[in-house]
Chain A
Amino acid sequence: MKTPEFHINTNGHGAAFAEYRHLVRKKWLAMAGIIAVFAAAAIGSLASGASGVGLADLIPAILNPGHPAHGIVVSLRLPRVAMAVLTGSGLAFSGVVFQAILRNPLASPYTLGMGSAAGFGAVLPIIFLPAAFARDLWIAGGAFAFTMISAVVILAVTRLKNAGSETMILCGIALMFLFSSLTSFFQYMGAMEQVSEIVFWFFGSLSKAGWNEIALAAVMVLGPFPLILRLAPDFNLILTGDDAAKGLGVNVPRLRMEAVILASLATAGSICFTGVIGFVGLVAPHIARMLLGADHRFLLPASALCGAALVLIADTLGRTVWAPQVIPLGIVTAFTGVPFFFYLLMRRKEMM
């Protein structure tokens, strides 16, 4: 039946297509809305801060190196916004990927133990290299290395046992507990000032990242993105089950492997310079999914933008609502994300 010749009531066929086209148009509209919110969040973040440089001064301050606010906007606010975008988008689209390949709405980079692993990787240099050269890089490197180690362990277990999503989730939870307890152990060993450093690392902060760190994070976050986006149709297929996806031509084990490697890389890039910023990787995918559905060709870019906007808004609020004190980012992301998430949950009951 290569060229099926259905004898059909043609008006019906047109109707389905038209309805679907209408739906796709609505998705583009939602996407435009997300982009607008993202842009507003970015500009808002650029235009707020302790020095009082506002919206009006923004453009001249960026363009004119002689402007008094040039240093503030270009050296302090721009890198902050850049890091927020990278972290938020990286965590969000890795969250989408993990939720898809595990077919589990509760999945996120942290459900797979990566946050705990990264934290442990950061704790090691804090405890053992208290006065080392380039200590911050050691901390970031430790976080990166252990994120990837957790990914490799999960992949190895799933390959060895030829196992599916449940095994991966259980494996991730096991890793989470392992690394959490290891962190607690080293925290227990640590002196007071080291314990405080560990606690603050787990809060997350965008202040630590300069342009060099941002460049590295950009490679790790933006590099995998097109490769992940290329797999979007396969993520759609895997939602209806491994067997169905295989029947539709997807090499499921390979897809899982590629997805885990790419998403872990993006996760590592997102958190190694900023610390554990919880919740974004879990909630941004859901927000995007509620706004424009589960088609990953839309969902991946949309949730990346949602995640970026969420972190931007959280950081701006964290810097302004209780100024001059800063509310740590990891706390504000949850504060801002949860109510919005609840609102959407109430509005769209059919979700999940």
Chain B
Amino acid sequence: MNLMNPEKHVCQTFQKFGPRQGRRRQSKIVFFLPILLIMVVFSQPAFAGNRITVTDALGRQVQVGLPVRTVGAMNSDALEILRALDAGDMVSCVFAEIVRERAFWGKLADRPKLGSWREADFEAIAKIKPDLVIAYERNPGPELEKRLNPLGIQVIRLNFYKIKTLNREIRDLGRILGREKQAAELCGWYDRQLGRVAGRLKTAKHRPSVYIESYSDYHSTGPSSGADEMCALAGGRNLAGNFSIPYPEVSPEWVVSQNPRIIVKAASWANGYEKSGADHLGRVRDKIMARPAFPGIAAVKSGRVMVMDSSVWTGPRAVVGILYLARLFHPDLFGDIDPEKVHRDYIELFQKVPYGGVFAVEGVKR
């Protein structure tokens, strides 16, 4: 009777707003049998070999036994970083929702599945026996460690969706996997993009007020949400930034009376990578602009309404989202910046797949 206790869901659900996932189980155990054998003979990671200590997403000091040769990715954020670190081949099992985004993940989508992003299939994981499983800080729950550690499978919780901790988490994962060089490259790239934005914002005279709306209508994002962080880094003033909770509901009247200069909305699971047109985002934008009493809002009058695909809305590619936002907030400072080009660089350089898709759409001046 989940539905009777919605609060429970919210706290489990809102670690972040962002990734996209998939399903289905395929057994390729034959293919992985050699790996399993090697693992049993050589590693026993929890007891033998070197150990390194890293800080996980919950702030705990966690020891990871080395070497780590195979990894299970519980969610798309972890998988995206793994691929960016050139560690795609080490991924022995993936989250079930991946099949929804076959185009983006390619052959990775065919790897065996270890359950959904918030509910692990322990039997499947036990069968595949990766050296390490990467999960969000709260999903799945603590039963993950409780069940897997006795089997000699290590669990580490890394979020990869908070910009503040993103680089540290990437470097730690690089150390664990022996991909320090790739980690440094990726972090350097992030730092350059963020540094460029921060540098230009030094000359900004104002921070425009922004109404941020997440996937549900009239649900904004408050302090310690990923979108609030993005907004701040892009030089905007989140109207719900001083609220008490991260994902508050607001009333239409509050939005109208705040008269935001800019409105930003996250499009619900839209799979922007596979889209060739912007119709789906445009529809969401048009609906917002036509809401009762909204035509009087400054943002709607000036057309500064943006709808963003969830793949650049927080998560490893939040920096792309930040660039879109920065250009929207400060067209005078970021007029020459092309977020799409930056996005293309990231996709081709780090994800090593062809760039494609539509990820944001803006309004037009009335």
Contacts and interface: CB of A to CB of B under 8 A. Distances in A.
Interface of A: 49-52, 71-72, 75-77, 79-80, 116, 119, 126, 130-131, 133, 136, 180, 183-184, 187-189, 191-197, 199-203, 205, 207-208, 210-211, 276, 319, 322-328, 330
Nearest to B216: A200
A184 B252 contact: no
A200 B219 contact: yes
B3 A71 contact: no
Interface string B8-41: 0110011111111101000000000000000000
Nearest to B245: A325
Interface string B256-293: 11100000001111110000000010010001000111
Interface string B231-269: 000000000100111011111111011100000001111
Interface in B56-79: none
Contacts of A203: 6, 249
B269 A191 contact: yes
A180 B3 contact: yes
A193 B256 contact: no
Contacts of A322: 244
Contacts of B258: 50
Given A50-B253, A76-B252, A130 B2 contact: no
Residue of B10, B215, B287 ringed by the most chain A CB atoms within 10 A? B215
A326 B249 contact: yes
A189 B119 CA distance: 10
Nearest to A207: B218
A324 B243 contact: yes
A130 B252 CA distance: 23
A293 B14 CA distance: 46
B257 A199 contact: no
Which of A75, A79, A119, A324 lies at the interface centre, i.e. has the most chain B CB atoms within 10 A of its CB?
A324
Contacts of B254: 49-51, 323-324, 326
B296 interface: yes
A201 B9 CA distance: 12
Contacts of B15: 192
Given A200-B216, A203-B6, A325 B248 contact: yes
A72 B97 CA distance: 43
A207 B251 contact: yes
29 contacts: A51-B254, A52-B257, A71-B256, A71-B296, A72-B257, A76-B256, A80-B252, A131-B268, A131-B269, A131-B283, A133-B283, A184-B3, A189-B97, A191-B20, A191-B21, A192-B16, A193-B17, A195-B9, A196-B13, A197-B215, A197-B268, A199-B10, A207-B218, A208-B218, A276-B3, A319-B251, A325-B222, A326-B249, A328-B249
A277 to B, nearest CB: 12
Given A193-B17, A193-B266, A326-B248, 4 more contacts: A77-B253, A192-B117, A195-B9, A203-B6
Contacts of B117: 191-192
B297 to A, nearest CB: 10
Interface residues on chain B, size class: 35 or more
Contact of A183 (B3, B116, B253, B280): B3
Contacts of B18: 192-193
Contacts of B243: 324-325
Interface string B213-226: 01111110010000
A325 B293 contact: no
Contacts of B216: 196-197, 200-201
Interface of B: 1-3, 6, 9-10, 13-21, 23, 97, 100, 116-117, 119, 214-219, 222, 240, 243-245, 247-254, 256-258, 266-271, 280, 283, 287, 291-293, 296, 310
Contact of B293 (A71, A196, A202, A330): A71
B209 to A, nearest CB: 13
A324 B7 CA distance: 20
A42 B116 CA distance: 46
B200 to A, nearest CB: 30
A327 to B, nearest CB: 8
Contacts of B268: 126, 130-131, 193-194, 197
Nearest to B254: A50
A72 B254 CA distance: 10
B296 A207 contact: no
A202 B5 CA distance: 10
A72 B256 contact: yes
A182 to B, nearest CB: 11
Contacts of B2: 180, 183-184, 187
A343 B219 CA distance: 34
Contacts of B1: 180
Q: Which of B10, B100, B247, B254 has the largest count of A CB atoms less than 10 A from its CB?
A: B254
Contacts of A180: 1-3
Nearest to B20: A191
Contacts of B13: 192, 195-196, 199
A76 B17 contact: no
A130 B253 contact: no
A196 B17 contact: yes
Contacts of B271: 130-131
Nearest to A322: B244
B3 A202 contact: yes
A51 B257 contact: yes
Interface centre among B218, B248, B257, B270, by most chain A C-beta atoms within 10 angstroms, is: B257
A179 to B, nearest CB: 9
Contacts of B16: 192
Interface centre among B3, B6, B119, B287 (most CB of A within 10 A): B3
